[in-house]
Structures are given as C-alpha cells and as structure tokens.
Amino acid sequence: MATRTQLSDATALDLPEAPRWRTLRLLLSKKIAVVCILVLVVFYGAAILAPWVAPADPNEQEFTVEAARAGPSAEHWFGTDQLGRDLLSRVIYAARTTVLFTVAVVITGGLFLGLGLGLLAGYRGGWVDNAIMRLGEILSGVPVFFLMLIIRAAYRERTNDLAFWLKENTFLGADAPPLVAFVIITGVAVPFVWVGLARIVRSQVLAIREQEFVLAAEAMGISTPRLLIRHILPGVMPIYLVGLSASMAGFAFVELGLSWLGLGVDPSTPSFGSMINAAGGVRTFEAFPHLLLVSSIPIIVFFFAWNLLGDALVDIVEPRTYRR
C-alpha cells in the first residue's frame, strides 16, 4: 500500500502523468538503476560498435610461444588466448554475440510473441485466450534446455550441411556458418521465452480491460488496434518492462550455456561461453588466471546489471500486482 501512496504523492501536484514516464522518472531517481543503465549502455555500445572499437581482429592468430596465453600488456590490454588472439577484441565481439542474441530473442519472443499474444489473450478472452494459455502451459512444462540440446546436438550434421551449402552457393560466403548457428539457437529459444511475459501481460490486460476509460473508448467506437495501442498498452508497459528486464539475464544465459557446451554459436564466432570453457579448467585457471577473469567478468557484470535493474523496476512498478 505504501508504494501506491508514494506513487500518488509524487505526482499529486502535477497533472496526471502517463505511467511510462512516471516509471522512467522514478527509475532515474535511483542511483543504482542509473549506474546499471550506464553499465549496460557501455556494454551494448561496445558490442554494436565492435568493428570500430576492437583494437584487433578477434580471429587473428599468432603462433609463437611468447604470444600465446600472454598476460595483459600495453599491446594486448586483456592479454592473449591459447592461439595468440587478442582477448580484448574477443571480449568485445563476444559481447556483440550476447547482444545480438538477446536483441533477436527480445524482438521475436519477447515483443512479438510475449507482448502480442499476452495482449491478444487478455483482450479477446474466450477460446483465443484458452488456446494461447494452454499452449504456454505445455511449453513451460517441456524441459527447455533438454529440447534445445536435442535440436542442436542431433541436428548438427544437417545444420552444418545447410551452412556449407549457403557458404558455397550464396552471397553470404564465410558469414553463413555463424549465421546459421545463430539463427538456430535463437529459433530454438524463442518458442519458450514468450510464455512468462505473455502471462504477465495478460493478467494486466484483464485488470485494465474492466476500467471505465476502456468502456468509454469502446462506446465511442474506437477500433481494436487503436484501443490496444493507445489505451491498454501504456498501462501494460511498466509491468512488461519489469518482466522483460528480469528475463534478460536468463535469455543471455541460454546462449552462454549452449556455447559453453560447444553447441551454441559457430566456433568462429567469439562467445563468452566458448571462451569461458576454453579458459575454465582449474589448472588452466591457476596457470593463466587472466584467461578466465577477462572472459567471465564482463558477462557477470552484464548479468548483475540486468538483475539489479530488474529489481529496481519491481520496486517502482507496484509490487502488489507483480507476480512471477
């Protein structure tokens, strides 16, 4: 109850504020949240600008005893890995893999399916609602990682064939194998990530749909898409963003875990998962601690920032209505 009162206190003197701006303003008033956002901006910025930011080619190898697994130096700030590749560049490109994967999953599974199906189920109700939610229940019970492993492991020959065919026969060339691997792990993740978000959205839509302004808008003959976008979506958005930010670390972990197992992105694509795996033996860590440290700390910071941001958002967006 207190949070509710605080919220209305904060806006009591002004004209009623749109919920999304209120969320943003309250978020920016939290120091931790601002720090998290800054950290994430740096991470995403470095990832998007990878070709310009990275000091070297992440796949350029140097086969000399001194160059392999060298510690941090002026030339290689993060040192080099077992093939003499510049680790700073590999970290930046690995960040790009993480960012591309999470963005692809958020747009398809989170935005398109999660928000879209949640709105549809909540607003339409009836058999549409039933069908969507039943499907969600089934999918949420399927051991996701298990099914991903089946698809990635058992189908690896076929996907390799496809990748090589594309490499030989299309303009994609050498980009084809990474692209195919990437599309597949994204495609495998998407059917499962929307369920939780759709549930959150649906329950919020159910609450909003009963309110008078929706009835008024309907009475004025508003079209359904317009009603959803102008009147219902703004009320759903804050809680949706909470759910989304809470799920981000989980999305990124799918790629991390699969790549750690060697079943994720193409080996030529730098990924935190494969880098951690290459650096992550106990003996390797003792002899060359920088290998594991530089390849794990960025992704830990990324996870931590999203976790904290999600937590800060939960505090702001009415904790009473938020259920996971």
Partner 1 sequence: MSQGLAGYIIRRLLWAIPVIFAVSIILFVVLRLAPIDPIDSLLGVRYDEEIAERLRQKYGYDEPLHVQYLRYFENLFQGDLGVSTRRLDFSVEEVVIPKVRVSAPIGAMALVLAYVLGIPIGIYAAAQRGTYRDPLTIGSWLFVDAIPIFVIAVWAMWFLALKVSLIDLSYEGVFHENIILPVLLMSFPGVAGVARFMRASMVQVIYEDYVRTARAKGLRERTVVISHIARNAFLPMITSIGLSLPAIFTGSLFIELVFGIPGIAREMLEAIFVPDYDVVIGFGLFTFSLFVLANILIDITYGFIDPRVRVEAERGV
Residue numbers at the binding site for partner 1 (CB under 8 A): 1-2, 32, 130, 133-134, 137-138, 141-143, 145-147, 149-151, 153-155, 157-158, 249, 253, 256-257, 260-261, 276-277, 280-282, 285-286, 292, 296, 299-301, 303-304, 307-308, 311, 314, 319-320, 322-324
What does the DSSP assignment read for 167-220?
HHHSTTGGGHHHHHHHHHHHHHHHHHHHHHHHHHHHHHHHHHHTSHHHHHHHHT
Residue 37 or 314: which CB sits closer to partner 1? 314
Q: How far is the CB of 246 from partner 1 (least distance, A)?
A: 9
Q: State the residue for tokens 């920016």.
A: 28
Residue 178 or 257: which CB sits closer to partner 1? 257
Spatial separation of the C-alpha atoms in residues 311 and 17, rounded to whole Å = 23
- The amino acid that residue 138 corresponds to is I
Spatial separation of the C-alpha atoms in residues 199 and 144, rounded to whole Å = 18
Token pair listed for 83: 């093939």
Q: How far is the CB of 137 from partner 1 (least distance, A)?
A: 5
Q: How far is the CB of 262 from partner 1 (least distance, A)?
A: 11
Q: How far is the CB of 3 from partner 1 (least distance, A)?
A: 8
Give the number of residues written for the chain.
Answer: 324
Q: How far is the CB of 134 from partner 1 (least distance, A)?
A: 6
Residue 90 or 231: which CB sits closer to partner 1? 90
Spatial separation of the C-alpha atoms in residues 122 and 168, rounded to whole Å = 47
| Residues 53 and 92: beta-carbon distance below 8 Å | yes
Residue 216 or 297: which CB sits closer to partner 1? 297
For residue 194, the Cα-to-chain-centroid distance in whole angstroms is 12
Q: How far is the CB of 293 from partner 1 (least distance, A)?
A: 9
Closest of 224, 25, 190 to residue 108, by C-alpha:
190
Residue 232 or 242: which CB sits closer to partner 1? 242
Q: How far is the CB of 306 from partner 1 (least distance, A)?
A: 8
The overall longest dimension of the chain from CA atoms, in Å, is 77
Residue 172 or 301: which CB sits closer to partner 1? 301
Residue 26 or 232: which CB sits closer to partner 1? 26
| 305 HSE (CA, 13 A, CB side) | 18
